[in-house]
Every structure is written in C-alpha cells, then in structure tokens.
C-alpha cells in the first residue's frame, strides 16, 4: 500500500507575540485604519479580538501592576465550575473575619443563609470582598483558592499574574498585566455563567423576601455617575484601590465582532477616566479591525500554531437567561449591530456606600 501523505503543516500566525514582551506601544495599522486614540494615559492597556484572540494594539502589555478587583475575574474563572449556583449556605463569623479594612462590600451577614448565585452577584455587581471570602471558603479555603487561581492563570497562558489575595485587595507581590486581564476577560465570555453575571446591571440581593437592590459598579455597563453607557457592552469587571488606581476589563460586540479591552491605572483625569480610555480604545478597535496586522495573541503558546476560531461569547449567544436557582430574576440580552439592551425586572436602582476608603 502506498504510504499515507503527510499532514499539511499547521498555519503559522502572521505575527510574533514576542513583540508584546517589549515595552512601549505596539500597533501595525494598515490602509484605512485610524491612528491610535490620543490621550490614553493608562500605564498599560490592550485591545484584542475575542473570537480569534488576536491582539490589535497594546501598550506595555506585560507590565506587572496591581490589578485591584479585576482579579475577581480570575477568581470567578477558578471557582465557578466547582460551586453549585443553587446551593444555599449559612455564613459564619469566621468566613468574614479576613475581609480587609475599607473593602467594598455587598452586605453579607453572618448567621444568614444565601444562595451561591446571590453571592456571585455580590462579587460581580458590588465587587463584594465579603462575598469572595465566603465563596473561597466553599471552594476549599482561602489558600487553596490562591493555589487554584495561580494554576488557572498558568493554564491560560497568563504568566504575569501572581495571586496573593483572591478578592484583589492590595497585597505585597500581587500583580497582573493588561495582557493577562484581557486573557481572563476572553475566557470569561466563553463561560455562560460568567457571561451572565458580568453583564448584569442591577439585581436584588439576596434574591427573596428580604432583599435590596444592588447596581453593577461598571459604569460603562450602567451609564451611572455621568459616564455614558457603551453600546453593545458585555461587561466584565472594574476595580480600584489606592495602590492599583483604577483598572478595567471591558468587552463589547458590534455586528459579528467582539472586542476585549483592558486598561490599568490611567495617569490623567478623574476616577472615571478609566471608562473613557476604554471607550476610546473600543471605538478604535472596531474601526481598525480588518485594517491592521495583529501584534500578538491571547492564546496560550500551545494553541498559537492553530488558526484561532474561538466560540462566540456566551453573552452574545443568550437571548433569554433565567437564573438556575429558580428565582424570578431574569436578564434579557439583545445584541444587534452595535447595541445591547439588558433588562433586570422592575428593580429600583440605588447605590450602596461603604464607610472608609472605597475599593471596588
């Protein structure tokens, strides 16, 4: 018998991700691509295509910086698969004992029972460190969760991230990068549960007879505090500490294209500058896509020799999402050409304030 023909070689990418290892701004715009937006002051940022993982442009992509609560995206990627959303848990005093001073809180109380899904809404909407501490204990404990998060980051190819505190609270040696945060955002959008939570603008906490409304602290999603809502936004996670400054992972869909943007610590403007810088990078990315040569990839090294045709984001696939715990809260996500509409029951929106330095 004739020997079998050898398999054709896998297509190689038209770029080298080694470029992103170098400091500075990297972009390769072609004919028809607009210039990069002026006035982006963040210490580190990145724009990438969610489906392919191709990086369209970046600035100091691998610079290690404190991530603040954007690290909760990695926490969710790590713990969500291990916890039953419909399970109920009675919170103990010991589970809340380690919450850091000045933390953002959703209002978890010892002695009360909560559904796991309620606690996840507390993480994604209110950036509640109290909810993270309880979920981490359910996941096997604080240090076990740290080890799992470190392993998850390595598996995703996020080599700049070192986890010390799963809630993103400032801790010596805890760092990530714009590259790694974009990796976490892209991975989260592929998970339907993550995508549902991160795109929720308002909800009742906890869901049931005794509850109060909570609002997502991501202003690009809610349009709060004078920040205009971004059309087609799929959410993900924002963060702030006095050490990290403002940080943000955002994703949006326009037509059949979805982009993810990460922004770390803008040096100009007020506390909302992170949203405006993300907005300008998303606008640039949607205009430049198809007219620029990628400068790198979010895919792990083992996958970069394959043509990236990742799944559509889970948030964009869902027309109607109903909570798995049987609650009466629903979220409707309608994604069209540059628009997304989310409706969360007849919930009155208020903002909860916490005493002390606000970390979100």
Q: Residues with catalytic annotation?
A: 69, 72, 127
Longest dimension (CA), the chain: 79
| Dist. CA 95–CA 115, nearest whole Å | 15
Between strands 212-215 and 202-205, the pairing is antiparallel
From residue 272, give the alpha-carbon distance in Å to each of 115, 313, 348.
32, 26, 23
Cα(359)–Cα(265) distance, rounded to whole angstroms? Answer: 14
CB 172 within 8 Å of CB 65: no
Alpha-carbon distance 222 to 199, whole Å? Answer: 10
């Amino acid at each position: 018998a004739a020997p079998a023909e050898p398999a054709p070689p896998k297509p190689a990418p038209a770029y080298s991700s080694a470029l992103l290892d170098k400091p500075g701004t990297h972009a390769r715009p072609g004919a028809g691509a607009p210039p990069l937006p002026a006035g982006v002051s963040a210490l580190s940022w990145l724009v990438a295509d969610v489906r392919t993982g191709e990086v369209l442009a970046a600035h100091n992509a691998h610079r290690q910086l404190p991530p603040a609560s954007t690290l909760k995206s990695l926490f969710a990627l790590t713990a969500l698969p291990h916890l039953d959303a419909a399970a109920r848990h009675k919170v103990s005093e010991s589970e809340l004992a380690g919450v850091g001073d000045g933390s953002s809180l959703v209002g978890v109380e010892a002695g009360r029972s909560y559904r796991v899904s309620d606690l996840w809404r507390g993480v994604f909407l209110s950036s509640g460190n109290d909810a993270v501490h309880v979920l981490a204990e359910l996941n096997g404990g604080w240090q076990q969760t740290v080890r799992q998060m470190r392993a998850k980051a390595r598996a995703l190819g996020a080599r700049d991230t070192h986890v010390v505190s799963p809630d993103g609270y400032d801790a010596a040696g805890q760092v990530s990068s714009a590259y790694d945060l974009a990796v976490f955002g892209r991975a989260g959008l592929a998970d339907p549960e993550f995508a549902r939570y991160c795109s929720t603008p308002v909800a009742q906490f906890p869901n049931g007879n005794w509850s109060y409304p909570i609002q997502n602290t991501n202003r690009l999603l809610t349009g709060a505090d004078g920040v205009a809502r971004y059309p087609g936004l799929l959410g993900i996670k924002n963060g702030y500490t006095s050490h990290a400054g403002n940080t943000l992972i955002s994703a949006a869909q326009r037509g059949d294209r979805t982009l993810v943007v990460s922004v770390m610590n803008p040096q100009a403007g007020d506390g909302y500058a992170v949203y405006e810088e993300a907005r300008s990078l998303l606008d640039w990315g949607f205009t430049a896509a198809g007219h620029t040569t990628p400068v790198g990839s979010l895919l792990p090294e083992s996958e970069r020799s394959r043509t990236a045709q990742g799944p559509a984001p889970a948030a964009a696939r869902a027309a109607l999402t109903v909570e798995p715990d049987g609650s009466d809260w629903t979220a409707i996500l309608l994604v069209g050409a540059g628009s997304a509409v989310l409706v969360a029951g007849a919930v009155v929106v208020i903002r909860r304030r916490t005493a002390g330095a606000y970390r979100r």
